[in-house]
Protein backbone atom coordinates (compact mmCIF):
# COMPACT_ATOMS: atom_id res chain seq x y z
CA UNK A 1 0.00 0.00 0.00
CA UNK A 2 1.26 3.49 -0.82
CA UNK A 3 2.02 5.91 1.97
CA UNK A 4 0.63 9.02 0.28
CA UNK A 5 -0.79 9.80 -3.08
CA UNK A 6 -3.69 10.83 -5.22
CA UNK A 7 -6.03 8.94 -7.48
CA UNK A 8 -7.40 10.91 -10.38
CA UNK A 9 -10.41 9.25 -11.92
CA UNK A 10 -10.61 10.78 -15.36
CA UNK A 11 -13.59 10.34 -17.62
CA UNK A 12 -13.39 11.75 -21.09
CA UNK A 13 -14.39 11.28 -24.71
CA UNK A 14 -10.79 11.02 -25.68
CA UNK A 15 -8.70 8.06 -26.69
CA UNK A 16 -5.15 9.29 -26.52
CA UNK A 17 -3.29 7.79 -23.60
CA UNK A 18 -0.19 9.43 -25.08
CA UNK A 19 -1.45 12.93 -24.32
CA UNK A 20 -2.30 11.88 -20.78
CA UNK A 21 1.18 10.44 -20.35
CA UNK A 22 2.75 13.66 -21.68
CA UNK A 23 0.91 15.71 -19.05
CA UNK A 24 1.89 13.58 -16.05
CA UNK A 25 5.19 13.13 -14.24
CA UNK A 26 7.49 10.17 -14.66
CA UNK A 27 6.70 9.09 -11.10
CA UNK A 28 2.94 8.96 -11.84
CA UNK A 29 1.25 5.76 -12.96
CA UNK A 30 -1.35 5.95 -15.71
CA UNK A 31 -3.82 3.18 -16.46
CA UNK A 32 -7.13 2.62 -18.16
CA UNK A 33 -10.17 2.08 -15.98
CA UNK A 34 -13.34 0.99 -17.70
CA UNK A 35 -14.44 2.02 -21.15
CA UNK A 36 -13.41 5.68 -21.35
CA UNK A 37 -11.86 6.34 -17.98
CA UNK A 38 -8.27 6.49 -16.85
CA UNK A 39 -6.67 6.47 -13.42
CA UNK A 40 -3.55 8.40 -12.53
CA UNK A 41 -1.72 7.52 -9.32
CA UNK A 42 0.36 10.47 -8.14
CA UNK A 43 2.65 9.31 -5.31
CA UNK A 44 4.01 11.82 -2.81
CA UNK A 45 1.62 14.51 -4.08
CA UNK A 46 -0.58 16.85 -2.11
CA UNK A 47 -4.23 17.33 -2.95
CA UNK A 48 -3.81 20.85 -4.32
CA UNK A 49 -0.91 19.76 -6.57
CA UNK A 50 -2.96 16.84 -7.90
CA UNK A 51 -5.86 19.19 -8.62
CA UNK A 52 -3.49 21.47 -10.55
CA UNK A 53 -2.21 18.45 -12.49
CA UNK A 54 -5.76 17.36 -13.31
CA UNK A 55 -6.56 20.88 -14.54
CA UNK A 56 -3.47 20.79 -16.80
CA UNK A 57 -4.66 17.53 -18.33
CA UNK A 58 -8.19 18.94 -18.74
CA UNK A 59 -6.81 22.05 -20.44
CA UNK A 60 -4.73 19.91 -22.81
CA UNK A 61 -7.83 18.01 -23.96
CA UNK A 62 -10.17 21.00 -24.15
CA UNK A 63 -10.82 22.18 -27.65
CA UNK A 64 -9.13 19.26 -29.40
CA UNK A 65 -11.09 16.95 -31.61
CA UNK A 66 -8.50 14.20 -32.18
CA UNK A 67 -9.85 13.82 -35.70
CA UNK A 68 -13.39 13.03 -34.53
CA UNK A 69 -14.95 16.22 -35.91
CA UNK A 70 -16.18 17.58 -32.58
CA UNK A 71 -14.60 19.19 -29.56
CA UNK A 72 -13.79 16.91 -26.65
CA UNK A 73 -13.94 17.54 -22.92
CA UNK A 74 -12.54 15.95 -19.80
CA UNK A 75 -14.01 15.54 -16.33
CA UNK A 76 -11.85 14.47 -13.39
CA UNK A 77 -12.28 13.47 -9.77
CA UNK A 78 -9.37 13.89 -7.37
CA UNK A 79 -9.06 12.11 -4.02
CA UNK A 80 -6.22 12.04 -1.50
CA UNK A 81 -5.21 8.89 0.35
CA UNK A 82 -6.30 8.96 3.99
CA UNK A 83 -4.72 6.86 6.75
CA UNK A 84 -7.82 4.66 7.03
CA UNK A 85 -8.32 4.25 3.25
CA UNK A 86 -8.30 0.97 1.43
CA UNK A 87 -7.62 0.94 -2.31
CA UNK A 88 -11.37 0.49 -2.82
CA UNK A 89 -12.41 3.40 -0.58
CA UNK A 90 -9.87 5.73 -2.22
CA UNK A 91 -11.07 4.76 -5.67
CA UNK A 92 -14.71 5.17 -4.61
CA UNK A 93 -14.12 8.73 -3.41
CA UNK A 94 -12.26 9.64 -6.63
CA UNK A 95 -15.05 8.07 -8.69
CA UNK A 96 -17.73 9.99 -6.76
CA UNK A 97 -15.82 13.23 -7.42
CA UNK A 98 -15.61 12.32 -11.12
CA UNK A 99 -19.36 11.79 -11.34
CA UNK A 100 -19.97 15.04 -9.45
CA UNK A 101 -17.86 16.78 -12.14
CA UNK A 102 -19.95 15.14 -14.87
CA UNK A 103 -23.25 16.09 -13.20
CA UNK A 104 -22.01 19.66 -12.77
CA UNK A 105 -21.75 20.24 -16.48
CA UNK A 106 -18.69 18.21 -17.47
CA UNK A 107 -15.30 19.54 -18.51
CA UNK A 108 -14.25 20.26 -14.94
CA UNK A 109 -12.24 18.88 -12.03
CA UNK A 110 -13.89 18.08 -8.69
CA UNK A 111 -12.05 17.20 -5.48
CA UNK A 112 -13.37 14.58 -3.08
CA UNK A 113 -14.13 15.89 0.42
pLDDT at position 13 is: 46
What is the Cα 64 distance to its own chain's centre? 18
Which domains does the chain show, CATH number per domain?
5-111 (3.30.70.270)
Active site residue 36: yes
pLDDT at position 85 is: 92
Active-site annotation holder among 36, 51, 55, 96: 36
Across the chain, which has 113 residues, the per-10-residue mean pLDDT values are 45 60 86 78 89 89 71 85 92 91 91 92
Nearest to 76 by CA among 24, 8, 16: 8
pLDDT at position 4 is: 41
pLDDT at position 109 is: 93
Amino acid sequence: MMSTGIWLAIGCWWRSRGLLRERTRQSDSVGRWGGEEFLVLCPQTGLSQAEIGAERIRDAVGGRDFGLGHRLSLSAGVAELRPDDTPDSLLQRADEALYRAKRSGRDRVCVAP
